[in-house]
Structure 1
Amino acid sequence: MNKQNYYGNLCTQMYEILHEKAPSDELDFYLSYAKKSDKILEPLCGSGRFLIPFLQRGFDIMGIDNSCEMLERLRQKAPNANVIHGEIMHHTFYHQFDYIFIPSGSISLFTDMNLCKQILSHLKGLLTSGGRLVFAVDTIACQCEDDIDYKPSLAVKTQEGYDLIAKTKNFYDTTSKTQFSPSVYELYDGATLLESQYMDFQTHLYELGEMEQCLKEIGFDKVMIYSSFAKEQAINNECENFIYECRL
């Protein structure tokens, strides 16, 4: 499947090996906004490294993701999880949410700025009065050096003992502020190539003030911007993430 930022089988396998659990500081940050009485939504929930800990703590949480492969892994770990396969803009929700969160800089996967604004506006419309939208984006501090050729970037061993290798090249477009990092995932049994998959990975890298303007235009007038999960105020572009706390 040649779809921008789609997590296919091999990419999902590598992601699960490298990111089995959510970082504790990041998980605690998002948990700090949750109340047991809340209805919670995690768009782009992936294989559930955040959603499952919420579920285990007794929170009423729903997830949605467009990757069948990532959701399959989630359901293997948490068969009773309330998760939906679909696109956030095209799914009809029949109630609103008190808390919506998107961790891991995943909002940056929407490199079409008009679409990103539409999605954030849509999420605002899903919030109850007094609801919270909390999310992170990648910053220009995450910019990679340009590579014209694919180079091995990651390598892991699968449960079957196979070698799973990611080869990546990078190009940063200064006009659109898009980091292009197309990747090829290759699964080997010794020297034998068993499977190969391509991923068209792209992210928008933000500068301070850029997302704030978007949120203002959408209608969020109560916004806090942090540079860390310790809630340090963002003052420049030197941090790798901006974290936004938006309240109605």
Structure 2
Amino acid sequence: MELKKNYYGSLCTEMYEILHEKAPQDELEFYLSYAEKEMSILEPLCGSGRFLIPFLEKGYQIKGVDNSREMLEKLKQKAPDSMVEQNDIEKYQTQESFDYIFISSGSVSLFTDMESCKSILSKMKTLLKKGGKFVFAVDTTANRCPDTDEYKESISVRTKENYELVLKTKSYFDETSHTQFGPGLYELYCGTELLQEERMDFQTHLYELGEMESILKEIGFTTVLVYSSFEKEIAEDNCSEMFLYECSF
């Protein structure tokens, strides 16, 4: 069975929609705080639209990009007129530049190859108007999971068809690369009958304070603020489970 890296397939998307259909209000308000009605806004890695759709409903001009066909199909079911494109963010091309770009939910941590990560962040800068804001979050080393050798059931949910959807995971942290490996096995059951299974090779880079800042400065962002909460408290140590970056040039 193919093991796709950081790709949301059909079962993964189904579970995500059940567990995370709507954005957490504090996180949504954080990203909304940078938006103004006349702005052109881009959300790379928009997924099934839990942030993009509230922006649309509030009248903002927002476009989205995501590599998962399954996720974008969910988004289109909820917002048929949304301006979204299925594409790898590294390959995304547009003549448009944006006043505001945001990547939510720590998704930048999915770019575990650091050269690729620099390339993607650099692309965000090229897509941003001078004086615009690029805002995003990453996971930190405070999110490190205990190492486990065998798959263990971590989540079980019921689908709308009343099937049982189970996620089994294991984890391993590589100290050298700061990569958290979390392969997942999704299984869909009708009673005891296995209907479908799907594997995902989930990997994230866990950051320490100062690590991302040096990358952003190297790329050419001249102002970088680092927060430890959605209330915009300045990050001072590695105890926070996320760092939020507000970047401009």
Q: Tell me whether 1:177 sits opposite 2:213 in the alignment.
A: no
Question: CA deviation digits over 1:85-131, x for unaligned, max 9?
Answer: 00112121121000000010000000000000010001001111111
Question: CA deviation digits over 1:134-166, x for unaligned, max 9?
Answer: 000000000000000000011100000000000
Question: How far apart, CA to CA, are the structure 1 residues paired with 2:36 and 2:5?
Answer: 34
Q: Tell me whether 1:6 sits opposite 2:2 in the alignment.
A: no
Q: Summarize the alignment of residues 233-244 of structure 1 with structure 2, pairs less than 5 Å apart.
A: 233-244=234-245
Q: Normalised by the size of structure 1, how large is the TM-score? A: 0.99
Q: Summarize the alignment of residues 201-220 of structure 1 with structure 2, pairs less than 5 Å apart.
A: 201-220=202-221
Question: How far apart, CA to CA, are the structure 1 residues paired with 2:4 and 2:98?
Answer: 29
SS at match of 2:244: strand
Q: Tell me whether 1:71 sits opposite 2:97 in the alignment.
A: no
Question: CA deviation digits over 1:195-235, x for unaligned, max 9?
Answer: 00000000000000000010010011101000000000100
Unaligned runs of 5+ in 2: none
Give the superposition deviation at 1:3. 2.1
Q: Summarize the alignment of residues 125-204 of structure 1 with structure 2, pairs less than 5 Å apart.
A: 125-204=126-205
Alignment-derived partner of residue 121 in structure 2: 120
Aligned residues: 248
Question: How far apart, CA to CA, are the structure 2 residues paired with 1:130 and 1:172?
Answer: 38
SS at match of 1:228: coil
RMSD after superposition: 0.6
SS at match of 2:238: coil
Give identity over the alignment, percent: 62
Give the superposition deviation at 1:26. 0.3
Unaligned runs of 5+ in 1: none
User: Counterpart of 1:35 in structure 2: which amino acid?
Assistant: E
Alignment-derived partner of residue 90 in structure 1: 91
Question: How far apart, CA to CA, are the structure 1 residues paired with 2:35 and 2:200?
Answer: 34
Q: Tell me whether 1:32 sits opposite 2:53 in the alignment.
A: no
Question: CA deviation digits over 1:3-29, x for unaligned, max 9?
Answer: 210000000000000001000000000
User: Counterpart of 2:57 in structure 1: which amino acid?
Assistant: Q
SS at match of 2:188: strand
Q: Normalised by the size of structure 2, how large is the TM-score? A: 0.99
Question: How far apart, CA to CA, are the structure 1 residues paired with 2:214 and 2:86?
Answer: 31
Question: How far apart, CA to CA, are the structure 1 residues paired with 2:27 and 2:3?
Answer: 31
Alignment-derived partner of residue 15 in structure 1: 16
Question: How far apart, CA to CA, are the structure 2 residues paired with 1:65 and 1:99?
Answer: 17
Question: How far apart, CA to CA, are the structure 2 residues paired with 1:3 and 1:93?
Answer: 27
Question: How far apart, CA to CA, are the structure 2 residues paired with 1:33 and 1:230?
Answer: 13
Runs of 4+ in 1 over 6 A off after TM superposition: none
